[in-house]
Amino acid sequence: MKKLIFSVALVLFLVNVTFSQSYIPTTNDNNLSYDLNPVYSHAIKRDNLINVKSIGDIIPRYPYNWISSYVSVEISMTCGGKLKKMKGVNDNLTGEMLKMLSSIDLGSDIMINVTYKTKNPVTNLLEDSKMNYVATLIPDVEADFVGGKDELIKLIKQDIAYRIPESTLKKLKPILIKFTINENGDVANAIISRTSSDLTIDKLLLEVINKIPKWKPAQNVNGAKVCQDFKFGVGVPGC
């Protein structure tokens, strides 16, 4: 009987030790914020470029009513690995601009810079005003983690939250890591875009990002698998 009691106690002790080693609850998990998103401010897909005729077809809520006349219009993007720029006289896209849009590289930014005359509501005089807009050509089917974004962040949190000392957490600066999900669904080219100011923490987060599980890779309009860039940020809320 004593041997049985000892055996049960030993098993419970070992289970408790194993659990404690794999999960050490601290306050760190609640003191960090996590953010995971594709790398772009505004997104546009190739299908959206097929029937465009003007800048207003690209820029949502284009302020036609504010514009009295145009001073300069420039549109630029990367085609075939080369940055190309073209100028226009108004919001209408020229034939050359449309040709350039049809050959834009996936992941390239469409950069539109417009300087125009607008009437000052107080003085009633015409004044120069500028509009700068950037849209990124994204895959027709974006890369996606099996289980969803929330599940991936949960996995990352479990991997790092308890490995950051409380003393380090207090002086941690927001860190940003950029990486690519390649055609195979693997992480590639992960780099520190904004450092935490702690090289050990930077290295830890890079290590965690580089070993995250496979994704469903992005696809272009023809269904071919393509790369897509993402960014992952960690910081203390309020920073």
Q: Please tell me whether residues 152 and 230 are part of one structural domain.
A: yes
- The residue from 118, 137, 156 where one domain ends is 137
Beta-bridge mates of residue 160: none
Describe the crossing of helices 199-210 and 149-160 by its angle, rounded to 10 degrees.
140
In a domain, 19, yes or no: no
Reply yes or no on whether the pLDDT at 22 is more than 70.
Answer: no
Can you give the pLDDT at residue 24?
34
Residue 190 pLDDT > 80: yes
Q: Could you report the per-residue pLDDT of 212-224, keeping only the tens digit for each?
A: 999 999 999 889 9
**152: nearest Cα among 21, 11, 48, 36:** 36
Residue 8 lies in a domain: no
Q: What does the alpha-carbon distance between residue 142 and residue 155 come to, in Å, rounded to a whole number?
A: 21
Closest listed residue to residue 215, CA positions, set 46, 36, 33, 47: 36
Based on the fold, state whether residues 231 and 181 are members of the same structural domain: yes
Give the pLDDT band (50/70/90) at residue 25: very low
Mean pLDDT of 2-6: 40
Task: Indicate if the pLDDT at residue 21 is higher than 60.
Answer: no
Inform me whether the pLDDT recorded for 20 exceeds 60: no
- Given this model, what pLDDT does residue 8 score? 36
Residue 190 maps to a domain: yes
Domain of 187, CATH number, reads 3.30.2420
User: What is the domain range of residue 102?
Assistant: 46-137
Q: How many domains does the chain have?
A: 2
Q: Looking at the domain assignment, is residue 100 inside a domain?
A: yes
Residue that is last in its domain, among 70, 102, 137: 137
> CA 12, 18, 22, 27: dihedral to nearest 10 degrees?
50
Whole-number average pLDDT of the chain: 85
Q: For residues 77 and 99, give the distance between their C-alpha atoms in angstroms, rounded to a whole number.
A: 12
- Is 195 within 8 Å of 203 (Cβ atoms)? no
| Alpha-carbon torsion, ordered 59, 61, 65, 68, to 10 deg | -20
Pinpoint the alpha helices (H) of 23-132.
Answer: 46-49, 95-102
pLDDT in tens, 87-106: 999 999 999 999 999 999 99
Q: Tell me, yes or no, whether 56 lies in a domain.
A: yes
Q: Is the pLDDT assigned to residue 23 strictly greater than 60?
A: no
Asked if the structure places residue 65 within a domain, the reply is yes
- CB distance 56 to 64 below 8 Å: yes
The verdict on 32 and 145 lying in the same domain is yes
pLDDT tens digits, one per residue of 147-183: 899 999 999 888 887 787 777 777 788 999 999 999 9
Q: Give me the pLDDT at residue 126, please.
A: 94
Cβ–Cβ under 8 Å, residues 182 and 227:
yes
Q: In which band, very low, low, confident or very high, does the pLDDT at 238 lie, cut at 50, 70 and 90?
A: low
Same-domain status, 111 and 146: no
